[in-house]
Amino acid sequence: MAPTAQPETLTPLLRDRESVMVYDRSHVLGPDTLRAILEAARWSPSAGNSQPWGFIVGLRGDDTHAAMVEVLSSANQVWAPSASAIILTLHQVATDEDHELAYSDYAMFDLGQAVAHITVQARSMGLQVRQFGGFDHGAATERFAVPPHWAVTTGIALGLPAGPDDDGEMPDWVLARARLPRSRLPLEAFVHSGKFGHPADFLTD
């Protein structure tokens, strides 16, 4: 059986992406950088060009960021605030009252793709993100007055990774988790041909 593709085969923007837990606490995200990163989401594809995504942005030190930290899970509260920004993502779950934004069944898919664009744009600028689901979605919905046709979905910590000699003032469990080797299922486990469950021939030749 041919070896599964290694990360080395990927474009460096993807090869060098990882979900970073230890950030440089002195790094400040400038408005131009932030705009460029959010433009990546803006130009992401979506079903019928519905663009069913939303982002609430908190910058370390501002009130939005402080409110976000309050709703994080206790584990995410330890590492996520060290990033320069926390972004909560939203996707549309119903047509809005003014019927200006029609609901699409692919809204969460489109949001995920927009976030993927954000991760790649951030990487191209020397930054990294770690996405997270561990926060109180109800509390975030209330705190940020999210209308009923939108759902708060995930969080994104965005920042400059800490240097090799900077432990980011993190406890040992975070440093240990950050050092865990990354692993993935082999392609044969999820690339099929003929019928579901039959690995594609080009993988096994």
> Residue 96 interacts with ligand FMN (CB under 6 A)?
no
> Residue 12 interacts with ligand FMN (CB under 6 A)?
no
> What residues between 51 and 80 interact with ligand FMN by CB under 6 A?
76
Question: What DSSP string runs through 5-72?
Answer: PPGGGS-HHHHT------B-TT----HHHHHHHHHHHHTS--GGG---EEEEEEETTSHHHHHHHHHB
Residue 78 or 101: the one with the smaller Cβ distance to ligand FMN is: 78
What Rg, from alpha-carbon coordinates, does the chain have? 19
Residue type, 20: V
Residue 133 or 147: the one with the smaller Cβ distance to ligand FMN is: 133
> Residue 133 interacts with ligand FMN (CB under 6 A)?
yes
> Residue 23 interacts with ligand FMN (CB under 6 A)?
no
> Residue 18 interacts with ligand FMN (CB under 6 A)?
yes
Q: Stretches 1-9, 34-42, 89-97, 131-139: which one binds ligand FMN (CB under 6 A)?
A: 131-139
Residue 124, C-beta contacts closer than 8 angstroms, at least 6 positions apart:
13
The least distance separating ligand FMN from the CB of residue 140, rounded to whole angstroms, comes to 13
Residue 33, C-beta contacts closer than 8 angstroms, at least 6 positions apart:
125, 127
- For ligand FMN, the binding residues (CB under 6 A) are 18-19, 76, 130-134, 154, 182
